[in-house]
Structure 1
Amino acid sequence: MITLAITSSTALVGVAIANVGNGGLLAERSILTDRRHAEEITPMLAAAVAEAGLSIADIERIVVDVGPGRYTGMRVGIATAKALAFALGVPVASITSLDLIARAARELTCHDGPIFAVVDARRDQVFAQEADEAGLVGEPLVLSPSELADRLPSHALLVGDGADRYVAQFETVATVRRNVGPSIAIGALLPAGYPSGPGRLVAPVYMREPDAAINIKTRHSAPPTKKPRGRR
């Protein structure tokens, strides 16, 4: 099964193509960018398809990172996945950024304790979820770094850009493995039996209002500033 995987919910924008069950990973492209998700993803996709020696029409399944993470970034990836799925008539599988990060950590380390995937949520918050050898545990959380640090069990390993950003707060109570992002190659290699469906059903995992909405509410709730009166 020729699978295209897309991630753009964090600063890492990437695509990968794999022949699941017959050939493995065929191509992978990724870049770290702060704001250029939309500009990077289309040429990256074209380069990966060319490297794999395929055409877009050969794609049989799409896997997309649905967040949580950066609102604009995740919408770029999801919109791309939906458009391609509609044009090609292929199913889409959703996977969270936290799951991709946790899976990457399990491949990169021999850690035998709990793993926490941590994504920077900005506004002094993180998205976090625990994982063990079987996969994700419980529900994802949005909380402050100090709140997460207070909840961590002993011998925990933290990974993800949220762990990187707040490493000073975490490293006193846990181990932090730096520079572990969503592994798009792992997404492309998800087994054929991984749940998928129509692209129209794919939805982003926000977990919090978009920053733009929060900014508007903050401005509206702030008391009006008084203009200084001129001298008579």
Structure 2
Amino acid sequence: MKELIIDASTNLLYIGLINEKEADYITRIGKNDNAAYVVEMIKDLLEKNNLKIDDIETIIVGVGPGSYTGARVAVTVAKMLAYTKNIKLKTISSLNLLSTGYQNVLSAIDARRGYYFVGKFENGKTIMEDDYLSFDEIKNEKNLIVITPETIKVDLHLVSENSILNENIHELEPNYLRKTEAETNYDKKNDHKWYC
């Protein structure tokens, strides 16, 4: 089995590869510019392993939550490759993907303003669905790991085992869990502006 794994939900762009029993990956820490490097890094990882995109049987994408733009880019690239190359597409929570190297974890990504995207996982299996919680609600959890480039631990085989087949590529959307700041500001600005 040859599987390509893509996640851009944090400032760490993660591209992984399972080639039968072997696993490899490359990463890049970005400054809101990872979108420009996703395709190039996929190409680099495949070339490093003497593979082409046509050799890939499955693409697994982290669908968020996390960076709005990052999740959107990862999902779009995964959908495009899966559709044009007729490759199976699977999805997984980015919180799960980026913490599969921990046995029992409450994985959190900073959502700013004192809130976090949070999910609980045990050996890659979901114990608590992804949620949007304040730091006060999670700060006393003993297995809390705030995802940063330094704390990310990925077990690509667990990612593969716990990903879910997507039945309709065209309807796949990132998991945002909340409105973007732009949407919230727009709603506030346009509240009570309906005229008859």
Q: TM-score range by the shorter chain?
A: 0.7 to 0.9
**Correspondence for 2:152 among 172, 175, 181:** 181
> 2 CA distance for matches of 1:9 and 1:217?
25
Q: 1:3 to 1:77 in 2, by over 3 A?
A: same
Pairwise mapping of residues 122-141 of structure 1 onto structure 2 (< 5 A)? 122-133=112-123, 135-141=125-131
Amino acid at match of 1:98: L
Q: Is the 8 A contact 1:104 1:180 kept in 2?
A: no
Structure 1 distance, partners of 2:124, 2:42, is 31
Please give the alpha-carbon distance, in whole angstroms, between the structure 2 residues aligned to 1:197 and 1:65. Answer: 12
- Tell me the equivalent position of 1:36: 33
Residue 214 of structure 1 is aligned with which of 184, 187, 193? Answer: 184
Amino acid at match of 2:152: G
- 2:164 pairs with 190, 195, 198, which one? 195
Contact 1:5 1:188 in 2 (8 A): no
- 2:12 — aligned with what? 12
Deviation at 1:197, TM superposition (A): 3.0
CA drift of 1:195 comes to 3.1
Displacement of 1:130 in angstroms is 2.0
Q: Rg: which structure is higher?
A: 1
Task: Name the aligned partner's letter for residue 2 of structure 2.
Answer: I
- Contact in 2 for aligned 1:6/1:15 (Cα 8 Å): yes
Change beyond 3 A, Cα 1:72–1:182: farther
- From 36, 46, 49, the equivalent of 2:46 is 49
* 2:112 aligned with 1:116: no
Partner secondary structure for residue 44 of structure 1 = helix
Q: For 1:97 and 1:182, how far apart are their aligned partners in 2?
A: 12
2:22 is matched with: 24
Match of 1:149 in 2: 139
Aligned length: 191
Q: Is the 8 A contact 1:5 1:187 kept in 2?
A: no
Match of 1:158 in 2: 144
Q: Which amino acid aligns with 1:94?
A: T
User: Given the superposition, is the C-alpha separation of residues 46 and 96 from structure 1 closer, same or farther in structure 2, using an over 3 Å criterion?
Assistant: same
Structure 2 length-normalised TM? 0.86
Partner Cα distance (2:123, 2:114) in 1: 29
Q: Answer yes or no: is the 8 Å Cα contact 1:101–1:181 preserved in 2.
A: yes
Partner amino acid, structure 2, of 1:216: Y
Structure 1, unaligned stretches of length 5 or more?
Answer: 107-113, 165-177, 222-232
Question: Which residue pairs with 1:74 in the alignment?
Answer: 71
Structure 2: gaps spanning 5 or more residues = 192-196
Deviation at 1:103, TM superposition (A): 1.3
Paired with 1:182 and 1:12, the residues of 2 have a C-alpha distance of 12
Write out per-residue CA displacement over residues 140-176 of structure 1, whole angstroms, 9 at most, x where no aligned residue: 22121112226x3xxx121133xx6xxxxxxxxxxxx
1:96 aligns with 2:96: no
Per-residue CA deviations over 1:10-37 (Å, capped at 9, x if unaligned) read 1110211212xx3321x31111113012
Root-mean-square deviation (Å): 2.5
Q: Counting strand residues as a fraction of each chain, which structure ranks higher?
A: 2
